Structure 1
Amino acid sequence: MAHDEIIDHYSALARAAAAGRVVADCGPDAFEDGCFGAAGYDDTSALPEGAVRAGLGCGNPVAVAELRPGETVLDLGSGGGIDVLLSARRVGPDGKVYGLDASPDMLALARHNAEQAGVSNVEFLRGGIERVPLPDRSVDAVISNCLINLSDDKAAVLAEAFRVLRPGGRFGVSDVVVNHESNPSRRVVAERRIGCVAGALPIEEYRQVLARVGFAGIRITLTADHGDGVHSAIVHAVKPEIGPGLEIRPMREADAAQVLTIYQAGLDTGQASFETTAPSWEGFTTGRLPHLRYVAADTQTGEVVGWVAASAVSARQVYAGVVEHSIYVHPGCQAHGIGHALLSAFIAACEDAGVWTIQSGIFPENSASLALHQALGFRIVGTRERIGQHHGVWRDVLFIERRSPSAENDSSGAGDRVQDPTP
């Protein structure tokens, strides 16, 4: 089904709901088995009948996102407004809820429902979820109810969600996902049965796209099995938190000059590394993993003020979950919590990526870096004495590491995940 056909389809459903009919975007059995529509909510008694009739979701994203009084919320694909109205109740009169939908009939229905409910802290916007008509960093939470699966450009949707969220903002949606192991032809039939006309994302691909656009703390929890590998799911993720005027995002090639300048400034202190000259960008990017690279940037100027990146410690599969990291903050921006925020975001991303050990080496004289790492769970595992000369002086290096709690709690041991007979 093409984009315009989707809009026409949901506009027809909106008109049916406005006429007093209960609408459904899938068969009755799927609604009953999957808690679609109003069945997914605990209490809709205070809502207008029109909003309840037009409920086409697959869960309760309002509860998922843990909305708080005074927050600003965006509902992607707001339909008849049921989640917007419930959100408005959660955020209270000091909060604001935006509903975004591409169907003019759905928007008309939603505005009528808001008027019926006497809710004034809401605003309904017309547009596609792939291009949100809101400024950067303007909302505290993004919710959606069984709508992202309808988009034919889900990466753009998730990138837009990241863009409009403030640092520390939450992504909490109900959606439909599929298993890689499912039979493709039967899966298509199941998707059509419950209305996933553009094809739901496989679970692992959903995780990867969220991570690629910059989200961390990613959790996908299956809530209902619709058969043939198709599931309803709750999807949680967080935009990394950092102080006012800054944002943590994935490193881009356009950041190259600024990243290398900060790198060189760190090397010039004589306390960051045995290196004395920053590599070329080609050398930098070749020696580091393509993911697990982040920058802290000024939201007004775009200036990069710090970065963190990971390198593989070995090409052997048994060490696939072990990385070595580097973190540098602009000399003029230290002691502002930037390093703490960057390293926290990096650790969360490593947890999402299945990394079980993060390691690095620090000169003993670099007390600030050592304190930062120890505050975030790193421990000293040894000292490599007089390991190398730096400007003609022999230097010791403290070897530090952080083990993932999931690896520490795994009685089988992380090393048992992959067989590698050679030491």
Structure 2
Amino acid sequence: MDQPDEPPQSVEGRQADIGSRYGALARAAEAGEQIVDCGEDAFAEGQFGAAGYDQETADLPEGAVRASLGCGNPVAVAPLTAGQKVLDLGSGGGIDVLLSARRVGPDGMAYGLDTTAEMVTLARANAQQAGVENVEFLHGRIEDIPLPDAHVDAVISNCVINLSAEKPRVLDEAYRVLRPGGHFGVSDVLAHPGLAPSQRAEAERATGCAATLTAEEYRELLLRAGFTDVGITSTADAATGVYSAIVKAGKPSAPSGISLRPMRADDADAVLSLYELGIEEGDATFETAAPSWEAFDAAKLTLHRYVAVDDGTGEVRGWAAAAPTSPRPAYAGVVEHSVYVHPGARGRGIARALLEALVASTESAGIWTVQSGIFPENTASLALHRSAGFRVIGRRERIGQHRGVWRDVVLIERRSPLVS
């Protein structure tokens, strides 16, 4: 019989425990001890600590290798190239930062962020011993990253995000500091689905690692943060109930001077204003007035809605969103979508970026068909959708009256090649 769940630990209590635990491990590593953060069985599988790096660590300082506490090799996951900037969340003794610095070269920069002052001190000492200069170790919380917006090309992490009591905030921050088109690639510990709370807690105790998300929970949080192209691949079982995995995702690309992010409630006025402008032009929709925000919000899927924001002014210049086609279970993977761009911002690639982000987001969620109806007179929209992989499947003639005129509608759809 399962025991009653213990009351959840406060965020502050969790942070204090992590600081105390990893501070002690850092001091042990500095004293020349081999430190262990997971169970011996996990290490025997060859996927935890320095064992997950093959021969890549041969020329790194012994202290950096000895302080490795990860569950994989995220550096091998992120597609780093010369001149890029990369951020390691929870950098510990610095092993992944030093390896990343090698990949991005002297014209690039590798940042490490850790909440434990002793780990930051240890990592700086390891970088100095290695003679690596294109690194910077920051003391702070992964829930509040001390870097500007759109500052790095890649975010990596090694068995750290599972420790946070505020995982949605971590992923929101990772999205914020990534440049458009940037990559998220981490190794982490996940829980198998269907475990009772007591089973999950026992698995965590067996490894010494916290694993409070299943793969689907992780996927949903990434999509909610705005990420697309989400992929989660198991790498090794750590203990009964939990396993290590590679988690990959991307921040949608955007035209110069524009950023895409998830639509929020405080975007309501801007989004509905753009809706009204489309209605006034006459070729966007049968609607004659924009709905209330409450009606709009209730109709659209939460995980698949984006706004395009001008980096200079902060103004919303376009939006895209998806809505269920039908409440019937058979249509769970079919959605209808809309894309609106301010008339003064057209011709910059904003509509294409929004459409591609929406498609990538829906594919990551297992949606197999994105469809819509477009007035045949809206030739720009038809051309955009054809270029994005949509096909015309038919034409509904004189389907409805719009401002006293009978209008045809061209039906388009895109079938995902990724979702079977």
What TM-score do you get using the length of structure 1 for normalisation? 0.94
Tell me the equivalent position of 1:413.
Answer: none
User: What's the CA shift for 1:259?
Assistant: 0.7
SS in 2 for 1:354: coil
* Percent identical: 63
Equivalent position amino acid for 1:250 in 2: P
Does the CA contact (< 8 Å) of 1:183 and 1:229 recur in 2? Answer: no
SS in 1 for 2:377: coil
Does the CA contact (< 8 Å) of 2:207 and 2:239 recur in 1? Answer: no
Greater mean deviation of Cα atoms: 286-295 or 141-150: 286-295
Q: What is the aligned counterpart of 1:101 among 104, 107, 114? A: 114
Does the CA contact (< 8 Å) of 1:34 and 1:58 recur in 2? Answer: no
User: What's the CA shift for 1:227?
Assistant: 2.8
Where do 1:21-420 residues align within 5 Å?
Answer: 21-42=33-54, 43-197=56-210, 199-407=211-419, 410=420
Equivalent position amino acid for 2:397 in 1: E
Query: 1:128–1:328: structure 2 CA closer, same or farther, 3 Å change rule?
Result: same
Equivalent position amino acid for 1:215 in 2: F
User: What's the CA shift for 1:404?
Assistant: 1.2
User: What's the CA shift for 1:354?
Assistant: 1.4
Cα distance in 2, alignment partners of residues 290 and 75 from structure 1: 29
Cα distance in 2, alignment partners of residues 239 and 129 from structure 1: 18
Cα distance in 2, alignment partners of residues 116 and 227 from structure 1: 36
User: What's the CA shift for 1:389?
Assistant: 2.0
Does the CA contact (< 8 Å) of 2:320 and 2:354 recur in 1? Answer: yes
SS in 1 for 2:23: helix
User: What's the CA shift for 1:183?
Assistant: 4.5
Does the CA contact (< 8 Å) of 1:265 and 1:330 recur in 2? Answer: yes
Tell me the equivalent position of 1:18.
Answer: 30
Measured against aligned partners, the alpha-carbon deviations of 1:359-404 in whole angstroms (never above 9, x if no partner) come to 1111111111001101111110001111122222221110111111
Does the CA contact (< 8 Å) of 1:260 and 1:278 recur in 2? Answer: yes
Measured against aligned partners, the alpha-carbon deviations of 1:273-315 in whole angstroms (never above 9, x if no partner) come to 1222222222322332233111111123221000111121111
What TM-score do you get using the length of structure 2 for normalisation? 0.94
Cα distance in 2, alignment partners of residues 114 and 184 from structure 1: 41
Tell me the equivalent position of 2:4.
Answer: none
Cα distance in 1, alignment partners of residues 405 and 69 from structure 2: 69
Equivalent position amino acid for 1:297 in 2: V
User: What's the CA shift for 1:118?
Assistant: 0.5
Structure 2 segments unaligned to the other structure (5+ residues): 1-12
Aligned pair count reads: 407
Does the CA contact (< 8 Å) of 2:80 and 2:154 recur in 1? Answer: yes
Measured against aligned partners, the alpha-carbon deviations of 1:205-250 in whole angstroms (never above 9, x if no partner) come to 1111111111111111000012322010000011111012211111
SS in 2 for 1:134: coil
Does the CA contact (< 8 Å) of 2:144 and 2:170 recur in 1? Answer: yes
Greater mean deviation of Cα atoms: 19-28 or 217-226: 19-28
SS in 2 for 1:374: helix
Does the CA contact (< 8 Å) of 2:319 and 2:339 recur in 1? Answer: yes
Equivalent position amino acid for 1:255 in 2: D
SS in 2 for 1:2: helix
Equivalent position amino acid for 1:72 in 2: K
Cα distance in 1, alignment partners of residues 242 and 46 from structure 2: 11
User: What's the CA shift for 1:194?
Assistant: 2.2
User: What's the CA shift for 1:181?
Assistant: 2.0
Equivalent position amino acid for 1:13 in 2: L
Cα distance in 1, alignment partners of residues 206 and 157 from structure 2: 20
Measured against aligned partners, the alpha-carbon deviations of 1:252-289 in whole angstroms (never above 9, x if no partner) come to 11111111111111111111112222222223223322
Cα distance in 2, alignment partners of residues 131 and 318 from structure 1: 41
